[in-house]
């Protein structure tokens, strides 16, 4: 699919609102069932099977659920890193050692997040991950991801690139969020795979 000109940020804002509206209509049962299926699909990924360190995140609200996956990875002996939002929207990291290691943190008027309560490892800790699990709202057939717009993961991806780190980039979504096209900007970078409750789709490794 071709498009003319450079997509504008309002295009992304409109799409974000639309995808969030669909998520907000999900029931607690919908979210719980999808989280269980999502964990099962993700745990079958070869990239996760061989991973020693995985950078992930704790889902909030109607996001595709991640806690079951985080606990299953820990049971495999995987070191799981979780983000902590910094004042400038960059991400620090800390280790996940179970639900008791999470703290609910309110960031101003934004949604409250569950962050690691233990030692902070620094923003560069993510460069040691074998797999980075990314939040998002949609992904298209090229592997281009639509994020939530805060820019935190743009910084993570730029940090990985500048460090020469090449972890597998995997986005976790609902089935309906794998779409024909999302607008991208110059700094956007495709992911390697998307996991949804019904399956896995892989994308060509970007040059």
Annotated binding residues for ATP, written as ranges, equal 12-16, 145-153
Q: Show binding-site residues.
A: 12-16, 58, 63, 145-153
The candidate with the shortest Cα–Cα distance to 147, out of 114, 173, 112, 176, is 173
Token representation of residue 110:
């934004």
Q: Show binding-site residues for substrate.
A: 58, 63
Beta-bridge partner residues of 104: 114
CA dihedral 51, 52, 57, 58 (to 10 degrees): 100
Contacts of 106 (CB under 8 A, 6+ apart): 112
């Amino acid at each position: 699919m071709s498009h003319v000109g450079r997509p504008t940020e309002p295009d992304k804002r409109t799409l974000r609102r639309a995808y969030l509206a669909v998520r907000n209509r999900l029931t607690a049962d919908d979210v719980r069932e999808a989280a269980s299926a999502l964990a099962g699909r993700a745990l079958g990924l070869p990239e996760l099977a061989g991973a020693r360190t995985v950078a992930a995140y704790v889902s909030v609200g109607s996001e595709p659920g991640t806690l079951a996956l985080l606990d299953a990875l820990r049971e495999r002996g995987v070191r799981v890193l979780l983000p902590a939002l910094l004042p400038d929207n960059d991400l620090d990291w800390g280790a996940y050692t179970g639900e008791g290691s999470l703290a609910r943190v309110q960031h101003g008027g934004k949604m409250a997040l569950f962050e690691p309560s233990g030692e902070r490892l620094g923003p560069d800790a993510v460069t040691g991950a074998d797999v980075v699990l990314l939040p998002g709202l949609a992904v298209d057939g090229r592997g281009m991801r639509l994020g939530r717009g805060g820019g935190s993961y743009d910084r993570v991806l730029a940090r990985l690139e500048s460090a020469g780190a090449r972890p597998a980039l995997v986005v976790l979504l609902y089935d309906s969020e794998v779409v024909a096209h999302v607008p991208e900007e110059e700094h956007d970078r495709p992911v390697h795979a998307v996991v949804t409750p019904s399956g896995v789709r892989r994308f060509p490794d970007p040059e």
